[in-house]
Structures are given as C-alpha cells and as structure tokens.
Amino acid sequence: MNKVFEGMYVGGQWSSTGKTFPDINPSDGSVWGDAPDGGRMEARNAINAAHAAFGEWSSLQFNERAHYMMKIAQVFEKRQADITAALQGEGGGWFGKGMFEASYAPEVFYAAAASNYAAIGEIIPSEFGKLSMAVRRPMGVISVISPWNFPVVLTSRGIAFAIAAGNTLVLKPSEETPYCGGLLFAEIFEEAGIPDGVLNVVTCSRDNVAEVGEELIENPLVKGISFTGSTAVGRQIGARAGAHLKKCCLELGGKDSLIVCDDADMDRATGAANFGSFMHQGQICMSVEKVLVQDTIFDEFLKQFIERASKLKVGDTTKDNSHIIGPLINDKQAARVKGHIDDAVAKGAKIVLGGGVNGRFVEPTLLVGVTPDMKVYQEETFGPVVPVIPFKTDEEAIKIANDSEYGLSAGVITRDEHRGLNIARQLETGMCHINCSSVNDEPHAPFGGSKASGMGRHGGRWATDTFTETRWITLDRGGRGFPPGF
C-alpha cells in the first residue's frame, strides 16, 4: 500500500504545492509514496515560521523544553513498529537496522533533554575583580539538511540538541527518504504537542534541491546550518555558508580502516569486519572501507572473514526479515559500486567472495590485491565491497589508514590495550574504536570527522556547543580604572 503524505509541515500546518515526486522503494522499484515537492517559496515560508516561533521557544525554561524532548522520545517509542516498516519500505534497510534506528531515536531525544540540565556557562577569573562569564545562547533559526542512509538516526541527531538548546528549525530531508528523514518527524512533533513553528519540514525533489538549499543557507534569518551528507555537496554548502559568515556543522563521507593486529581475537576481528563492512550494505559514513590485516594472520583471517560474510542473505527487505543485505538506495549508487569492483579487477585485484551485481542488489564482496591506484582504495565506495590488505608493522598500518583525504572513524583489533591506544593516537580521524569496528555512535559522545570528513561535532555537550553561540559578559564592580586623560 502506498504511503499517503499529508503535505509539508510549516508553522504547525500541513500544506501542499500540488506538485509531488516519486518516493521509490529501492527493493522493487515501486512507488512507495508521492512526496510533496517544494521550492524556494516553501523554504522561505518555513524559515519565516521558524523565525516567528523562536522568541517564545527560546524563552521557555530549560526544563520545559526538556519535558517536550521527553514527550518526543515517548512518541517515538510508541511508533517503533511502523517506523521500522517505513525504513524497510522507503530506505531498503534490513528489519534489524530499522529496529535499531527506531529505538535509537528516542535515546537521542532523552539525551537532548538531559543536556538542558547541564551548566550553560563558566565563570572566568578577572584581573579587575569583575564578574566575568562565558555564557551560551541559542542562535535562532537553523537549517538542517539530512541524508538517506540512516534517516531517522541522523535527522534525530541533527535536530534534537539544537531544539533543546532553544533554536527553531527548518529540516530538509533527502529526496530518497522524505518521510523517514523528514515528514515522520513532523508527525511526531505534532503528536507530542511541540509548539507550532519550532520544527518545519520542507521536502523537495533533486530538481529543486539547489534553489531550496540556497535559500536555506543564504536567507538572512538563518543563523546556522547543520549538514550531513557527501563531501562533494558538503564542500559547496560550507563555502556558501562561509561567504555569509554563518556557523556550519558538516558531517561528511569517510574511508575508514579496520586494523587487525597479529594478537587479535580472531572471532572479534572477523565479526567487526563483517558488521562494519556490510551493515546496511556498507552505506554508512563510518563503514569499514579497508580491512588492514597483519601479514602473519592474513590467510587465517581471510578464510574466517569469507566464511562469515558468505552467510549474509541478500534480497528484498520488505519480503523477508532474514534478508540482511538489501538493495542499494538507487541505480546511480549501484552503478558506482559496480564501477569500483570493475576498476579494481581491471587493475589486478582479485574477488575472493561475491562480486555479483543484480540491479540494485550487490553481493557482499571481498577483494585482495588492492593497490593505491584503485578507486576502491581511494574513494568512498558506500557499498558492500571491501578490500583486505596486508601490513607488516603497526607503522605501515597507520600509514595506509592515513593515506586518505577522509578522516572519519577507525577500528583497531588487538589484545594489547597499550598497542591499541598507541595506534589510535596516530590515526588522523575524528573517532577511533579499539576492539570494535569503526561503526559506533552514542547520543552523548562527540561524533564527527577530521580532514575531508567534515567539521563540527554532534552528540552531548559537543552538540550544544555546535548549536549555540558563546558570549562573554562581565559585570564591573569598580575595579577597572581608565587611563589618565579619559
């Protein structure tokens, strides 16, 4: 059954332009729903609505906003089953991935509620005996642009702390997941009784995204931008925001390594490689995109990794919950991933598992003999394809891991905690997880990348920093004189 959209959500009202675009189920190519197609005017109306709501929302007591965040979390909890089904239908994800997203979202809102009870400033010493304070305040209207791969989690993360801090928002979800990343949130905010205009949702097709995006950044009422998506688009957004001197948080792509040392627990190592490389078909910003294995255990590791990965079932995620590997999001992504496999093979790599591409379905694929001239070594693949590369020393593993324009996350598997920390310290990434895969997120921890993986942090007090402005306020008590002559 097709999803029926009520329209876009602006100032607490559902409205439609009459124009729609097809929201496709990537498993079978059917139209999952017809999503409202907005343009510059709808974006402008949404910004105006957010601006109108800012005064009252930011003036609420911190605990009142926290209570609202908890109500949102509770509505999310109630809707876990239908959110999971929507994620399978609209996004092509496995049932378990849908359950994970649906249960993670309330945690984000609970964490955002908790953040409102933390200190909002610091007292600084003053040589003149002033009361000198660093205080934070909300910025105003923030534009949030979110991606399709984990639409519920990443939209939650993009909006919860920003709203808790007192900002009001315009959300533009990806055209691939206008419901799970956007209009679902409007439904939930409405049911939770959040005041009108605090969250506004504008959806649009890829044809209109340039003009909507332009308005969401350049409109003078917008004070901050939160973008999660590809590095290519992130660079454009960052440049545009910079030209207007607007604060911008960019969470972008990655090419993460999992380093498996010779003293690794083999079961832990192959589990981390399998989950990190193939969860949601490798369509995670912090997916394992290179498995680096110490040469003395390479053959044994590869044998066990192949054994594990070959058990992952591929198929339509809406038909069978045991289909862990669903389709890639669209034909363009499938062609890109196939391009990476073909390029690697043409340049001498060997496929040791998988390699099959059937429409949007790509088999979990392991490659050996991968060299730095191959796309699969350099570029983000964003699919279920991973090279397994041998290394001799820890220095060499660090060098290969850092040989990338990206720097999002990493994993290191070793029984030696000192060795793990020593490697982690030398990796040029925003995050690193020892004895785990690179895929990790917790709502209260600092999430973000280095190098071309972005700037700014989500999570906990780091998100509060991202979505507030710090001000210096002093109160003189007669201690500061002026130079003679004044």
Task: Supply the residues annotated as catalytic.
Answer: 251, 285
Q: Is residue 175 a contact point for ligand NAD (CB under 6 A)?
A: yes
Asked if 380 interacts with ligand NAD (CB under 6 A), we say yes
Span 141-160, contacts to ligand NAD by CB under 6 A? 145-149, 154
Contact 331, 99 (CB under 8 A): no
Residues 233-252 within binding reach of ligand NAD (CB under 6 A):
233, 236-237, 251-252
**Residue corresponding to tokens 């959110």:** 83
Q: Does residue 209 bind ligand NAD (CB under 6 A)?
A: yes
What's the CA gap between 461 and 118, in Å, rounded? 8
Site residue total, ligand NAD (CB under 6 A): 30
Window 87-106: contact mask with ligand NAD (x via CB under 6 A): --------------------
| Cβ atoms of 52 and 24 closer than 8 Å | no
Determine which helix (DSSP H) or strand (DSSP E) holds 474, and give its type and residue range: strand 468-475
Strands 357-358 and 361-362: antiparallel
Residue 145 or 292: the one with the smaller Cβ distance to ligand NAD is 145
**How far, CA to CA in Å, does 362 sit from each of 195, 318, 333, 355?**
44, 17, 10, 7
Angle between helix axes 266-278 and 298-309 (nearest 10 degrees) is 50
- Shortest Cβ 148–ligand NAD spacing (Å): 5
Q: Are 256 and 409 in contact (CB under 8 A)?
A: yes
Q: How far is Cα 410 from Cα 261, in angstroms, rounded to an integer?
A: 14
Least separation in angstroms between residue 174's CB and ligand NAD is 4
The smaller minimum CB distance to ligand NAD, of residues 38 and 229, is found at 229
Member of 158, 420, 454, 460 binding ligand NAD (CB under 6 A): 454
From 50, 75, 69, select the one nearest 165 (Cα to Cα). 69
For 178, other C-beta atoms within 10 Å of its C-beta total 33
CA-to-CA dists, residue 375 to 9, 177, 346, 372, 387, angstroms: 41, 28, 11, 8, 11
Tell me which residues in 404-443 interact with ligand NAD (CB under 6 A): 408
The CA distance from 29 to 329, in Å, is: 10
Smallest gap from residue 458 Cβ to ligand NAD (A):
7
- Minimum CB distance to ligand NAD smaller for 93 or for 420: 93
Pattern 270-309, ligand NAD, x by CB under 6 A: ---------------x------------------------
Residues 13-42 that bind ligand NAD (CB under 6 A): none
- Shortest reach from residue 230's CB to ligand NAD, in Å: 3
Instruction: Classify strands 406-407 and 450-451 as parallel, antiparallel or unpaired.
Output: antiparallel
Binding-site member from 38, 91, 213, 224 for ligand NAD (CB under 6 A): 213
User: Closest distance between ligand NAD and the C-beta of residue 360, in Å?
Assistant: 14
Residue from 15, 16, 74, 230 touching ligand NAD (CB under 6 A): that is 230
Provide the minimum distance between the beta carbon of 286 and ligand NAD in the complex, in angstroms, as a whole number.
7
Q: Which is nearer to ligand NAD, 58 or 330 (CB)?
A: 330
x/- track of binding to ligand NAD for residues 103-142 (CB under 6 A): ----------------------------------------
C-beta of 236 vs 426, nearer to ligand NAD: 236
Question: For 69-206, where are the E strands, in sequence order?
Answer: 121-124, 131-138, 141-145, 168-172, 199-201
Closest-CB residue for ligand NAD? 213
d(CA 107, CA 129): 43
DSSP, res 220:
T
Beta bridge partner(s), residue 470: 136
- Contact stretch for ligand NAD (CB under 6 A) within 13-21, 84-92, 224-232, 274-282: 224-232
User: Which residues lie closer than 8 Å to 235 by C-beta, 6 or more apart?
Assistant: none
Q: Applying CB under 6 A, which residues contact ligand NAD?
A: 145-149, 154, 172-175, 209-210, 213, 228-230, 233, 236-237, 251-254, 285, 380, 382, 408, 449, 453-454
